[in-house]
Amino acid sequence: MQFEELLEKQNHARRLASPVSSGPFGDIKELLEARADERRDYLISITDNNENSRVSYAGFCRHVLGCGRFLQNHGLRRGDRIATIAHNHWHTAVQYFAAWLLGLTVIPINLEEKDKDIAYILAESKIELAFVRTEYRTRFRKILELYDNLKHIEWIVCEGETDNFTSQKGSLTIDDSSLADSEAMIVFKTGDNEDPLGVVLTQANLLEGARSVAECQKIRDTTRLMCVLPIYHVNIVVTTLLTSFFVGGSTVLRGVFRPDCFFRDIAEEQVNIVSLEAPQLQSLNSYYEEGIQIETPSLHYVTGEGTPLHAKEAERFEKRFGIPVVSAYSLPETSSYACCMPVNLPAEERRKWRSAYGFPSIGRPVSADEMAIHSPDGEVLGEKERGEVVIRGNNVMLTYYGDRKANEKAFKHGWLRSGDKGFYVNDEKGRPYFFVVGRMDD
């Protein structure tokens, strides 16, 4: 495939056939400016030791400016790349937003990866500086010592207050031009026998993800979210940190998921929405004894991936606690949800879509994208015909980082090929609900 043809196919996959209205913010710099004077809580951070700290929008933005000044003082400029080696902490959120303010790219390191894969990611993405939480500095130092091509990386140990990664001295120069198309994140995926593959997402991708999540899940400035899943996953970054900031809501940021504290946190902080994966649902279902009463009147629903295991645990969870579970479908390549069940479905209809067709439905496409089912030759398939789930829209990634073959495969027919096998069923109004039944290469 010629480069011009590939570029045309990528551009086709990154726009809608019928464009939707763009959000109110052209880039994340504009989003920060809009919230800089607001005194309301943005983040309620809870550590593993149950220590609680609250950060307002205004306070958060001041820290972002200080971190931006720190990064510029260290010589970083638009287009440079930083890494974060951290768990859930509001300091990490500050570092994300400060990088985006300057047009830097964040590479969040998944701490579940092997050391050799982390080293590969650091080297391939040409990291200039890394923010390292103190808990991981021994491991990070070991990785740097083992690989000569990583010796140049400057790294900042983050502990205590914000003083070691923010600066009040020196000037801060902010680019007046739009950062919408600048790289915001490179998220690396690893396979069993392959080098990690980088997904390049722009600021426009992240903002469109936040806008469409807020729309489909009816998230408003009065909504309080809770984050218990790792914020080195881009879906979690967008659905909890960025969506909340986008609408002016608030987020409870838990260091790690703890079933013994889960419902207490929700009750004390009046949480409305929380995302859980199947293991967390399973943990809650097992932790609490039958018959115990859980009082969480503020909690509207739980969201999670629409997999068969998740559906099984979701059904148990709903029966056990009486709290709806709304399924969704996300890929790193779409920055966040590509598909989501309507949040206002009656319980009976939600159960129908979960079980009536042999697989749980992942819902309907969000407004940022379109979805279809393709044959291997790129032919559009009809209702209930099985093929590959494909996506096109404003939330589709810019590219796979430095991998021509992966891009040619992913954008072969002018849509993003998910690699997932599925089908769709129309409801009584002719609206498609999608299902995933496995991987195309199974």
pLDDT (0 to 100) of residue 108: 98
pLDDT (0 to 100) of residue 192: 61
pLDDT (0 to 100) of residue 227: 97
Return the structure tokens found at 355: 């079980």
pLDDT (0 to 100) of residue 315: 92
Q: Which tens digit of pLDDT belongs to each residue from 372-428? A: 999 999 999 999 999 999 999 999 999 999 999 999 999 999 999 999 999 999 999
- Average pLDDT of the residues in 96-122: 96
Residue 371 has pLDDT above 80, yes or no: yes
Range of weakest confidence among 44-48, 102-106, 296-300, 304-308: 304-308
pLDDT (0 to 100) of residue 263: 96
- Helix (H/G/I), strand (E/B), else coil: 154: strand
- Average pLDDT of the residues in 136-149: 94
Contacts of 237 (CB under 8 A, 6+ apart): 96, 108, 185, 206, 231
- Average pLDDT of the residues in 422-442: 95
pLDDT (0 to 100) of residue 19: 81
Q: Which tens digit of pLDDT belongs to each residue from 411-423? A: 999 999 999 999 9
Q: Which tens digit of pLDDT belongs to each residue from 178-225? A: 999 999 999 999 876 688 999 999 999 999 999 999 999 999 999 999
pLDDT (0 to 100) of residue 277: 93
C-alpha of 86 from chain center: 15
DSSP 10-55: HHHHTS-SSPPPP-S-SSHHHHHHHHTT--SEEEEEE-TT--EEEE
Q: Which tens digit of pLDDT belongs to each residue from 273-324? A: 999 999 999 999 999 987 778 889 999 999 988 788 888 899 999 999 999 9
428 phi, psi to nearest 5 deg: -65, -15
Candidates 113, 86, 340, 95; CA nearest to 231 is 86
Q: Which tens digit of pLDDT belongs to each residue from 309-319? A: 888 899 999 99
187 phi, psi to nearest 5 deg: -105, 120
- The amino acid that residue 256 corresponds to is V
Cα–Cα distance, 266 to 273 (Å, whole number): 9
- Average pLDDT of the residues in 245-249: 98
Q: Which tens digit of pLDDT belongs to each residue from 170-180? A: 889 999 999 99
pLDDT (0 to 100) of residue 170: 85
Dihedral angle sign, alpha carbons of residues 150, 154, 156, 157: positive
Q: Is the pTM of this model over 0.85?
A: yes
Confidence of residue 110 (pLDDT cuts 50, 70, 90): very high
Share of the chain above pLDDT 70, in %: 99
pLDDT (0 to 100) of residue 23: 85
DSSP state of 287: H
63, 67, 73, 76: CA torsion to nearest 10? -150
Contacts of 173 (CB under 8 A, 6+ apart): 72
Average pLDDT of the chain is 94
Confidence of residue 48 (pLDDT cuts 50, 70, 90): confident
Cα–Cα distance, 273 to 239 (Å, whole number): 10
Share of the chain above pLDDT 90, in %: 89
- Using a 10 angstrom Cβ sphere, with 0-12 exposed, 13-18 middle and 19 or more buried, the burial of residue 58 is middle
Q: Which tens digit of pLDDT belongs to each residue from 15-30? A: 998 887 778 999 999 9
